Amino acid sequence: MRVKVWDPLVRLFHWVLVGAFLANVFLTQPGKLAHQWMGYVVAGLIALRVVWGFIGTRHARFADFLPSPGAVMGQVQDMATGRRRLHEGHSPLGALMIFNLLFTMAALAGSGYAMTTVTFFGVEWVEELHELLVVWAEISVVVHVVAVVVESRRLGVNLPKSMVTGYKTLR
């Protein structure tokens, strides 16, 4: 069964955020103008996604994928026992990762911006927070990508393809 899951705005948000984050990690120099502008792009994307999380399409809305503790534990049990439970939108663990990444990217953009202000320019704890958030974001991204690959194989659903086409094929 082919199901429309991710609308164009969610998919565009995802891939532009990926590009902006990778650009700031690998292509730009911290403190330089290009790095700052990528941070502004990230901040704008997060703001847009937060709004879309309340007014967007069904699976884009936070209410659709806000996981309960029971649902999270249920998915962990499913993974431990080999049970295949398919989710049209985000799985409970996937939802936790999305919230983690949204908060982390927002905090990265905020701390990066703070470092450009008169109040926080050169303040060591702000710089250390920003660096810590970068490391946390990198770890989170790696875990996210590995989880997407593992869950795609375990469930027989091509999750990366769905973030390109907008459709999931569920058996």
Instruction: Tell me the per-residue pLDDT of 94-136, one tens digit each, with 9 for 90 and over.
Output: 999 999 999 999 999 999 999 999 999 999 999 999 999 999 9
The DSSP secondary structure of 15-44, one letter per residue, reads: HHHHHHHHIIIIIS-TTSHHHHHHHHHHHH
CATH numbers and ranges of domains, the chain: 2-169 (1.20.950)
Secondary structure of residue 163 in the 3-state scheme:
helix
pLDDT tens, 67-95?
Answer: 999 999 999 999 999 999 999 999 999 99
